[in-house]
Structure 1
Amino acid sequence: MMKSLVCREPGILELEKRDKPSTADADHVLVDIKHVGVCGTDFHIYEGLHPYLEYPRVMGHELGGVVAKPACGFKQDDVVIINPYLACGTCRACQRGKPNCCYQIKVLGVHCDGGMCERISVPAKNLYPAGDLPVQHAAMVEFMAIGAHAVRRSEVTSDDRVLVVGVGPIGLGVALFAKAQGAEVHLLDFSQDRLEMASDRFGFSRHHDAKRSPSDILAATDGEGFDVVYDATGNQKAMQSGFQYVAHGGSFVLVSVVHGDISFADPEFHKREMKLIGSRNATSEDFERVLSAFRSGEIDANALNTHVCTMDEFPEKIMSWVHNRDKMIKAIISV
C-alpha cells in the first residue's frame, strides 16, 4: 500500500491508502516519487476553479523521482523528470512534432490521477534522465519549461524590449528565459511582494505597479510599447488589457489560459501588425533547456524554492498557502 493525496471535492484534501503499483505495461516505467511541486493548477483544483476536472483527483504534475525497477533502458534509482503531458502520438499535432498541444492530450493530476503519491507508472517516453541534478530540482523543471516554451515560441532576441504581466511562478520563468536571451525585461504586477522577490532573488530591476495607469507604464518605452508582451496572469481583464502594451510590429503571447472569451479592438490589432501567440505546455526541447540552465547555474534552482512540507503536512498547509501566494514562488512537497 502507499499514501496518496486525494482532493475529494473543492476544499477537501485527504491522505488515502491505495495499492502501490508493482508492475507496469511494457512501455511504462515505475517511478518512486520523491518531490512534487505545487502549481497554480493544484490551487485551482483545491478551490474548485478548474474548468476541466472531475473529482476525486490525485493532483500533482511537477514531479521528480527515482526509477523503482529497471525498465525501458532506465536503471533502478535513476533520477528522472516526468513530463506530465500524455499525448496520443497519432493526431495531427503529434505528427507535426507538437505533442504539447495534442488533440487528445491528458495531463497527469488534471485529466487523470497525478503524482501526489508514493509511486506512479509513467510511459517511458515521458521520462527524462536528470543525471546529477538533485531530485528536488527535478520537481521544478516542468513549470520552468512552460516559460522556456513561451520564450522560444515568441522568438525573442537581445534587441527586444519585453513586458511580463503577472510575476507568479510561470511569469517568473518567462522573465528568466527572456533575460537569458538578452532581452530588456520589464515586470508588471499588482503585488509588490512578487516584484520584490523577483528583484531580490533574480536581479530584475525594471518593475511596474499594475495599479498605475497604462500611460505611466508605457512611459518606460517613450510611449511606443514593448516588442513582446507575455501574459501569465490567468486573469481575463488583464489579458484583454495587455494588447495596449504591444509595440507596432510586436507580439502578444498568451501563456495563461482562462475559461472564457478574450476580445480586442481589431483596428488597434491591425495597425500594429501584431502577432498573437498562444503558448501551451512544453516539449522535450524546453525540458532540456531548463535542465541545461539548472546544471550550468544560469538559473539558480534553489532560489525558486520558497516553501517546503511533507505529504502529511500538505492538507493543512494548503489551507493557508492558497490565500498567501504573493510571497511564494515554488512550494515543494517531500514524499
Structure 2
Amino acid sequence: MQTVTLQAPGQLHYHESTFDATLLPGEALVRIHRIGVCGTDLHAYRGRQPFFTYPRILGHELGVEVIELADEASTLQIGSRCSVEPYLNCGHCIACRRGKTNCCASLQVLGVHTDGGMREYLKVPVHKLHPSLTLSYEQLALVETLAIGAHAVERAGLTPQDTVLVIGAGPIGLSVIEFVKLAGVPLVVTDREETRLAFCRSQLGVAQTLPANEDLPVRLPECLNGDLPTVVFDATGNPASMMKAFDFVAQGGKLVYVGLFQGDVTFQDPMFHRKEITLMASRNALPGTFTTIIRAMEAGRLDTTPWITHRSSLTAVAGSFPGWLEPGSGVVKAMIDLS
C-alpha cells in the first residue's frame, strides 16, 4: 500500500507498507481519494505541532470511498462517497456523555495522535463517515476544515446585533469567515499578508479588510461605526496575536481562540474584568456540524472552489511540502490526489 510517513520534523518518506484489512464490528474499509493539507500537517512538518509524536502518518481532511463494511449500515453502502470525521472519541467520559465528543478526555485525532490518511486505505468507524450523493471527493475532503470554522462560530452564538473581527486569513480563518458570512453580521478581516486579504475580498466577497499593523487599533472602529467588535475570532495560532486580541474586544464581548500554540497565554486582568470579556476555546467540531456543512455544500450555499491553490500526487508530496511552506508560495489549501 502506498504510504507517506512523517518520520521526524522535515522528513516525509514515501514507501510501500502492509495493511491488515480485517474489519471489526462497526468498521468500514475506505479507499482514500483526496487529502487536504492543513496547518496541523505543516506545523507537524516543522516540528511545532502540540500533542504530536513521530513517526506519524499525516492526513485528517479526507474524501473517501467505502469499499467494505463489517456489517450493514443504514446510511452507507459499497461505493458511498464520504467525508471522514477524524475525531475518535471514547464515548463514555464526561465530555462524551454531555455530547461534547470533540473534546473527549482521551481523544485520538487521525493524523495527529494516531495514524491518518496519507495512504491508500484506512479503517474507520462507520459512525465517523458522512456520505453525500452529489459532492466530489475534493469537496468532501474540505468538510473537516469548514467544520473547524463552523464549530467556532457555533461556540460564539452570534446574534444579529453582533459585529465580528476575524484575525488571520489562513485556511482556518477562511472557514470562520464562511460561517460568519452565513450569519449575516458585519465582518472585518485582518491579516499580516495583503495577498490573503486580497483573496478574502476577491474570492469570498469580504468588504472590509485591514492589514494587521500598528494602525489596526485606530482603523478597526472606523469600520464598525466607532465601536470595537463584539466577537473576535483569533485563527492565527500566533502567541503575540492571541494575547493582543484582548485589546480588540468590545465591552461585554467575546474572544474565541480557534488556533493554538505550544505555550502560555497571558493578559492584563484588570482590562479583562473591566470589559467582562468571555474567553472561549474552540476545538475540532461535532458530528452534526459535518452533516450541516455537507447539506449547505449540496445546496450551493458554500463554494470551496477558490480554496484549492496547490495540488500534488501522493508520490510527489514529500517534495511539495517545503515549497508550500515558503512565505511567497500563495498556498491557501493544498490537495493531494490519490485517484
Normalised-by-shorter TM-score class = over 0.9
Q: Which segment is superposed worse, 21-30 or 138-147? A: 21-30
- Taking the TM superposition and a 5 Å limit, the aligned residue runs for 1:52-201 are 52-72=51-71, 73=73, 74-201=76-203
CA distance in 1, matches of 2:190, 2:245: 10
CA contact (8 A) 1:197 1:327 kept: no
CA displacement at 1:293 relative to structure 2: 2.1
The equivalent residue for 2:208 is: 206
Q: Deviations over 1:229-259 (max 9, x none)?
A: 0000000010000011111111110111111
The equivalent residue for 1:299 is: 302
Q: Which segment is superposed worse, 320-329 or 175-184? A: 320-329
Paired residue secondary structure (2:255): strand
CA distance in 2, matches of 1:151, 1:228: 10
CA contact (8 A) 1:162 1:183 kept: yes
The equivalent residue for 2:23 is: 24
CA displacement at 1:136 relative to structure 2: 1.2
CA contact (8 A) 1:145 1:289 kept: no
CA contact (8 A) 2:255 2:278 kept: yes
Give the aligned residue type for 1:175. Answer: I
Q: Deviations over 1:266-297 (max 9, x none)?
A: 22112222111111000012112211221111
The equivalent residue for 2:2 is: 3
The equivalent residue for 1:38 is: 37
Paired residue secondary structure (1:116): coil
CA distance in 1, matches of 2:327, 2:133: 34
Q: Deviations over 1:53-108 (max 9, x none)?
A: 11111000001100011344131111011111110111000000000000110110
Which structure 2 residue ranges, 5 or more long, are not aligned? none
CA displacement at 1:218 relative to structure 2: 3.1
Q: Does 1:268 align with 2:271?
A: yes
Give the aligned residue type for 2:78. Answer: Q
CA distance in 1, matches of 2:79, 2:61: 19
Paired residue secondary structure (2:178): helix
Paired residue secondary structure (1:200): helix
CA distance in 1, matches of 2:20, 2:136: 24
CA distance in 1, matches of 2:327, 2:315: 20
Give structure 1 regions of 4+ aligned residues with deviation exceeding 6 angstroms: none
CA contact (8 A) 2:27 2:69 kept: no
CA distance in 2, matches of 1:172, 1:124: 29
Q: Structure 2 residue aligned with 1:318, among 317, 321, 331?
A: 321
CA contact (8 A) 1:306 1:328 kept: yes
Residues 248/149 of structure 1: CA separation in 2 closer, same or farther (3 Å cut)? same
CA distance in 2, matches of 1:291, 1:328: 24
The equivalent residue for 2:230 is: 227
Identity percentage of aligned residues: 38
CA contact (8 A) 2:148 2:283 kept: yes
CA distance in 2, matches of 1:325, 1:222: 35
CA distance in 2, matches of 1:209, 1:326: 19
CA contact (8 A) 2:148 2:284 kept: yes
CA distance in 2, matches of 1:71, 1:198: 44
The equivalent residue for 1:244 is: 247
Give the aligned residue type for 1:42. Answer: D
Q: Deviations over 1:100-146 (max 9, x none)?
A: 00011011001111000000001112111122211111000001000
Q: Which segment is superposed worse, 287-296 or 214-223? A: 214-223
Give the aligned residue type for 2:12. Answer: L
Which structure 1 residue ranges, 5 or more long, are not aligned? none
CA displacement at 1:326 relative to structure 2: 6.3
CA contact (8 A) 1:86 1:108 kept: yes
**TM-score scaled to structure 2, two decimals?**
0.95
CA distance in 2, matches of 1:291, 1:303: 17
**TM-score scaled to structure 1, two decimals?**
0.96
Give the aligned residue type for 2:330. Answer: K
CA distance in 2, matches of 1:21, 1:143: 29
Q: Does 1:283 align with 2:283?
A: no
Give the aligned residue type for 2:162. Answer: D
Q: Which segment is superposed worse, 123-132 or 35-44? A: 123-132
CA contact (8 A) 1:60 1:115 kept: yes
CA contact (8 A) 2:24 2:70 kept: no
